[in-house]
Amino acid sequence: MPAIPYIPTTDQGLDSWATNFAAKITLSPATYGLVAADALIIQNARDTYNAAYLLGGSSGVPPTPVNPATFTAITVAAKNSAKFAGVAIWRTYAAQIRLNPGVSNADKLDIGLNLPNNSPSPIPAPSTFPILSIVASATGLMQLRYADNTTPALRKKPFGAMHMELWRGIDATLVLPIASCTLLALVQKQPFVATFTMPTDGGKRATFFARWVSRRGLPGPWSAPIDQIIA
């Protein structure tokens, strides 16, 4: 039996849910089996979505703009982009917390999760990590390929991995730590083409990290970073 959805689909509901989710985890990451760096990623995604929601989001039934003066095609698109990125991050961490036996049911419910169905035997989180390579580049573009560290010649995801989370940072030098990067895409096919804002990003250095994520949203370990100057 599928789990009852716990992440709201409405803009207003998601903003309230994400605010509570991030606030509780930021207050005490260890309670949920996380560390401060995880809390920072979760909080940054909430802050980005909240700012975009206030400009291009909607609320109420029927939905009406939160701020009609700023409700344009551009702000709605920015809100949708922040929503996509935020939900991907929150769902990954939520799945990890839901299946952690060290987190009490009360604490899981407190951050807006539903309780897992413990009857089936879930596929565990990936234990391997991606190997990234930049195979081509042009002005404002980089083409990437991936492989699993256990089968580098096969160029495919490991068993149980639904997609690869690809994170990117752009700066004058290598971007560290991963918390300084942002989620770029959920990659299921390759090669993947990363695009950049030109001429703003030209001459800077792009750093990429990645990890496998299972069908239940459980993440595996991070890849080593790769970086290259943007043409």
| Per-residue model confidence (pLDDT) at position 137 | 92
3-class SS string, the chain: CCCCCCCCCCHHHHHHHHHHHHHHHHHCHHHHCCCHHHHHHHHHHHHHHHHHHHHHCEECCCCEECCCCCCCHHHHHHHHHHHHHHHHHHHHHHHHHHCCCCCCHHHHHHCCCCCCCCCCCCCCCCCCCEEEEEEEEECCEEEEEEEECCECCCCCCCCCEEEEEEEEEEECCCCCCHHHCEEEEEECCCCEEEECCCCCCCCCEEEEEEEEEECCCCECCCCCCEEEECC
What domain range is 58 assigned to?
11-110
Per residue in 1-24, pLDDT (tens digit) is 344 568 898 999 999 999 999 999
With respect to residue 65, please indicate whether it lies within any of the assigned structural domains: yes
With respect to residue 139, please indicate whether it lies within any of the assigned structural domains: yes
Q: Are strands 205-214 and 226-229 parallel, antiparallel or unpaired?
A: antiparallel
Number of alpha carbons in the 13 Å side-chain half-sphere of residue 40: 9
The band of 121, judged by pLDDT with boundaries at 50, 70 and 90, is low
Mean residue pLDDT across the chain: 90
| Per-residue model confidence (pLDDT) at position 215 | 82
| Per-residue model confidence (pLDDT) at position 122 | 63
With respect to residue 119, please indicate whether it lies within any of the assigned structural domains: no
The verdict on 213 and 143 lying in the same domain is yes
The verdict on 81 and 154 lying in the same domain is no
Per residue in 184-194, pLDDT (tens digit) is 888 988 899 99
Higher pLDDT pick, 131 / 5: 131
The verdict on 223 and 134 lying in the same domain is yes
The pLDDT of residue 97 is above 50: yes
With respect to residue 43, please indicate whether it lies within any of the assigned structural domains: yes
Per residue in 52-68, pLDDT (tens digit) is 999 999 998 788 999 99
With respect to residue 2, please indicate whether it lies within any of the assigned structural domains: no
Work out how many domains the chain is built from and give that number.
2
Domain's final residue, options 110, 144, 162: 110
The band of 108, judged by pLDDT with boundaries at 50, 70 and 90, is very high
CATH of the domain at 211: 2.60.40.10
With respect to residue 183, please indicate whether it lies within any of the assigned structural domains: yes
Average pLDDT of the segment spanning 137-146: 93
Domain's final residue, options 57, 75, 110: 110
* Cβ partners under 8 Å of residue 148, min gap 6: 128, 129, 130, 131, 154, 156, 157, 158, 212
The verdict on 63 and 150 lying in the same domain is no
Domain's final residue, options 110, 142, 172: 110
